[in-house]
Amino acid sequence: MTNPFENDSDATDSTMRSMRVLAGIGALACGVAIGMSAYAMHGALAPQDHERLAVAAVFLFAHGLALAALAPGTRSRLRQAGFFVLMIGTILFSGSLVLAAWLGIAPTLAPFGGSLLMLGWLLVGGDFLFG
C-alpha cells in the first residue's frame, strides 16, 4: 500500500513532527513513571494504593518507552494510528489507576484503556508484519 502523502512534503513534515511529539510524550511518560514508582514505594499509604500506582507506573514506563523508541520516523498511517491508540490507552489505563489510588475513584476506565493498548499493539504489529 502506498502512502498518499509520499510526494507531499508538507504532509510528510507534519507527520514526522507528530511522530516526534509522540516520542517526546513517551519520553516524558517514562520520567513521570519513575517518580510514580518512587511515590508508590515510599508515599502511598494503603497497600491497594501502592499496588495500583506500581502497576500504573509499569504500564506508563513500558508504553512510554515504546513510543519514544518506535514512533520517530514512522511513515505508515496504520502504525501511526496504532501509536496514537497506544498513547490514549496508556493515559486511560494508568490514569484510571492513579485516580483510584489518589482520589478513591473506581478505576472504571482501566479496562477500556487496556483494550485500547491491545488494539494499538495489534495495529503496530500487524503493520510491521504485513505493511
Separation CA 90–CA 113 (nearest Å): 6
Q: Cα(35)–Cα(38) distance, rounded to whole angstroms?
A: 5
d(CA 131, CA 122): 12
pLDDT at residue number 57: 97
**Segments making up each domain of the chain, as ranges:** 9-130
pTM of the model: 0.86
| pLDDT confidence band for 64 (50 / 70 / 90) | very high
- Terminal alpha carbon distance of the chain: 7
| Position 1 pLDDT exceeds 70 | no
